[in-house]
Amino acid sequence: MIAAFEGWNDAGESATGAVSHLLTVWTHQQLAITDPEEYYDFQVNRPSIRVDAKVVREIIWPNTIVYAVSTPHLSNDFLIVKGIEPSMRWRRFADELLDLADDYEVKLLITMGALLADAPHSRPISVTGSGSHPDVAERLGVEISRYEGPTGIVGILQDAANRRDLDAVSLWAAVPHYVSTPPSPKASLALVNALEDFLEISIAQGDLPDRAKTWEEQVDHMAAEDSEVGDYVKQLENSKDANEIPELSGELLAREVERFLRRNPET
C-alpha cells in the first residue's frame, strides 16, 4: 500500500504529485472511497462544483480514494491511497484503511510526505526513508525515525501499522521553502526515484523529468531577477556542497546506474 495525503504532510503537493504520477503510469481502478461526512470538516475542506460539457452541475466532495493497481510485470500488486488529510476521527480513518490492507493481504505500507527545508532548488532533492519501528528500520535497511513533535495523518498511519505488526516505512522529500507553491515536480520525481530504489523496481517517468527541468529553470529565472533570492540560493548551495560527504557522489552515481539498468534490462 502506497499512500499520500494533501495538507500538512505534503509541502508543494510533492507527495500527492508522486502518487498521481503512479496512477498515470500504472493501470488502476477505484477500489474504495471514504465517507466524507465521517472525516472532513467542510468549512476547512469545502466541496467544489464541477460543470460538465452539458452544463450539468456536480458536487465534488473532499475524500480519500483507494485504487487497486495490477502490475503483472512486477512481483507485487499495489493499493494506492490518495486523499486529503482528514479533519477528525484519525484513528478510525487509519483503521478503515488498514482493515482494507488486511483484506488484500498487504505486507508493506509505504507513506509519502514532503516538508519545507533550507535546501537549494538547484541541487538534487533529498529524500529520507525511515521505519515505523527500530526493528523494521533495521530489517528494511532504512533509518530509524527520531522525530519528535506534531504529526500528521502519515504519522498516525505509521503508528497504527506498527501496532498491527504491519511493516511500514515513510519517504519524505525536502522541498526548498522559498519555492513551496505547488506543484513541485522535482520533489515528486525524487520521491518516485526513491520508491524505485527502495522497491528495486522500474517506474516509467513519463513527462515528470521534463516538468522537473522546467520548474528548476523557472526558479533559476526568479533567482536571477531577484538579487536577494539569488544570494540566498548561493548561500544554500555553498552550505549544501560543503556538507556533502565525498562518498555520497559515488553512492548517487551507483543508484543512477542501478536505476538505468532496471529501466533498460536489455543493456
Note the pLDDT tens digit of each residue in 10-45: 999 999 999 999 999 999 999 999 999 999 999 999
- Asked whether residue 144 carries a pLDDT value surpassing 80, the answer given is yes
User: Is the overall model pTM greater than 0.85, yes or no?
Assistant: yes
Note the pLDDT tens digit of each residue in 188-221: 999 999 999 999 999 999 999 999 999 999 999 9
Closest to 112 in 3D by CA, of 100, 129, 132: 129
DSSP 35-67: -HHHH--TTTS--EEEE-TT--EEEE---EEEE
143's enclosing H/E stretch is strand 143-144
d(CA 192, CA 197): 9
Give pLDDT, residue 266. Answer: 66
What does pLDDT average to over the chain? 92
87's enclosing H/E stretch is none
Copy the grid coordinates of residue 4: 499520500
Note the pLDDT tens digit of each residue in 208-264: 999 999 999 999 999 999 999 999 999 999 998 887 655 555 666 666 666 666 666
Q: How many CB atoms lie within 10 A of CB 116?
A: 14
Name the CA dihedral angle for 117, 122, 124, 127, rounded to a multiple of 10 degrees. Answer: 20
Domain residues for the domain of 159 are 2-263
Closest to 262 in 3D by CA, of 196, 205, 191: 196
Copy the grid coordinates of residue 101: 490492507
Total tally of structural domains belonging to the chain: 1
CATH number for the domain spanning 149: value is 3.40.50.10900
- Asked whether residue 74 carries a pLDDT value surpassing 90, the answer given is no
Give pLDDT, residue 263. Answer: 67
